[in-house]
Structure 1
Amino acid sequence: MKVVVVGAGAVGAACAFHAASAGLDVTVVDRGPVGAGTTSRGEGNVLLSDKEPGPELDLARLSRALWDEAADELGAASFELEPKGGLVVASTGEGLAALGEFAARQARAGVRVERVDHVQELEPHIAPGIPGGVHYPQDAQVQPVLAAAALLRAAVERGARTRTAEVAAAMTGRNGEVTGVRTAAGETLPADAVVNAAGTWGGEVGRRLGAPVDVLPRRGFVLVTEPLPPMVRHKVYSADYVANVASSDAGLETSCVVEGTRGGTILIGASRERVGFDTTMNPAVVTRLAAQACRLFPFLRNTHLIRTYRGFRPYCPDHLPVVGPDPRASGVVHACGHEGAGIGLAPATGALVTAHLLGRPWRGADPAAHTALLPDRFLIPKGAVR
């Protein structure tokens, strides 16, 4: 089977890696370098802690196991896998009770959770007076661009090819089935299946393939400090981050997320706002994120910021990714709309796409167990414009 994967971010690279590992003939097409889009604008989160029990958590649990498998196959150092764990903290007793109920539901779904009464024991530099939190030992972090590059390199070693080009349209057969893609330069790439792994641009690529999906951009900012000695041991965030992830509000939302990197810098997030593809720097967002981080870790007040970056999360209205074959365009398989969880969910998404292509389970991914992610849950009619 010939497969064209559109997108060389973390999700597209994972799709290529798994499909090539299964013996499929894979070509990856992207208009830019590996990981140059949304992947390069992320923190590299591999999280279970922020997900309600349900379809996304099921995919995340599989993905967490597959990240470990990738570390065994490719070497953890090749993408800087750090199983650092996550610490979610509450600022009030009421918030702590709600966080405990949320964690209990996750535990019943198979997530490892540990109630923490004295958060300073895990994070000595955190602000005093925090009533408690929950530790998630399975949370991890990868360097996102390195991860995409490692997966794509491994796919190429297994026979995949890469092509720098922009996909302009689908090629179709006599019965309307997709038989490949045509690039903006007029090149044709025949395929039995085309995987839409275009991230934030998945809606537009889907439209070009005759299978539009409701994927919209949601802008976010991340702050980066000067390198420091190890000061933050885990990914630490406030409990309201979970609510912000699940919110569908179009306006600006921020919640405090702080974590260290292997290079010594500290990453500070997270903001979300629906402003289309507007890349304008917003100093007010930076100020708000910095203030929240300083309240959580007071030592940051005397720390220099060296840069900020921003990007777009591929947002779906129900906050679930779109993974699976499109019923309107035979041969199109979607793998997009992961919002801020694309890095963490990439391996399981790649395995699930490969299972759909093979028509059987692959690496623990069974299409029958992930029907809630199929694109037919919200289809946009052909020719519709978002």
Structure 2
Amino acid sequence: MPDPLAWIPEQLELLESLERRRTIHIRSTQQGPNVAWKDREQINFSSNDYLNLAADPRLQAAACAAIEREGWGSGASPLITGRGQSQADLETALAQFEGTAAALTFASGFAANAGVIDALADRGDVILSDSKNHASIIDGTRLSKATVRVYPHRHLDYLENLLKQCGTFRRRLIVTDTLFSMDGDLAPLPELANLAEAYDAMLMVDEAHATGVFGANGRGLCEHFGLEDRVAVRVGTFSKALGGHGGFVVGSQPLIEWLVNRCRPYIFSTAPPAANAGAMLAALRIVHDEPQRRTDLLAKATWLRTQLREIGWSLGDSESQIIPVIVGTENLAMSLSAKLYEMGMLVPGIRPPSVPDGECLLRISLSCGHTQQHLDTLVAALTELRL
């Protein structure tokens, strides 16, 4: 019989010829500032485990306790079998942590973004999206039946001109990351809030890389800029600074009830396991009780950015724990990544489709678990590679 998938090997060979074929490797130790990769010990500058919680024994203990109480699998979606007590407790604690009326948890941050956008904007509406938004936001705009307008990265004048042209749409939704995952730069949130109010638009933000890191209480950049009451929809993830898995949305009670009724990834996904909810309850307590984790992380990031800029590397407009070393070409990014690996450091090269052609980079992700010796080793290596 003919193979209907016979075209795939040829396309894989094409990716191979372009040096864009990706493979999955086994990480042989727990997540942390040091990791074994391909059976070689590496300083881990590739993880989004910003607060060094992924392997924290307190999260492990909380997960085990939740399994003892509620078992492992959830059985079905929350609307079919209900949610477990740990999940309900997590959503209550999350709303308290974020200072909102209510919260809703999802199986992934991707599902949260894609589903919320589709639930908020439909035919007759318009979505205005930053050109460097995460793939989950981009796919959410594509799933929606709304008209989509993309504005250049952080370009407020362009966005305002679009808003002036969108008066005939029923609803307007501005959506942006708050901390951009590849460039490490920040969205101009105060100005976006002003535009949303001036043009009667909803403002939705994804705090995925900012939750736990920015703000006096670790709530993210909305808290950092004092905008929590002016941003209608805030999405986040447990899978980065909080060291777990899944996504969430926080906001008003009517917003959360609307999502329960209209958000397809929530309605049609099996509820996350109690173990994750238990671990994330522990993570929220640690973020509250140990603010030095985020202050230490941001201090290290400031120091490292200063050192790398003095060497002569281009870091763009990074203001965060995500530090892009912008090199331009794909070959150079992957070559530098390979050389750093040989020197004992896991620093991924980022290339299309994760970034546009000509904007390839090394993506350095810092953790509060990195020591000064780790940072000195990286600076010394990038000094040598810069010569």
TM-score range, shorter chain: under 0.3
Q: From the two aligned structures, give the one with the greater strand fraction.
A: 1
* TM-score, normalised with respect to structure 2: 0.23
Q: From the two aligned structures, give the one with the greater helix fraction.
A: 2
* TM-score, normalised with respect to structure 1: 0.23
Q: Compare CA radii of gyration and give the structure with the larger one.
A: 2
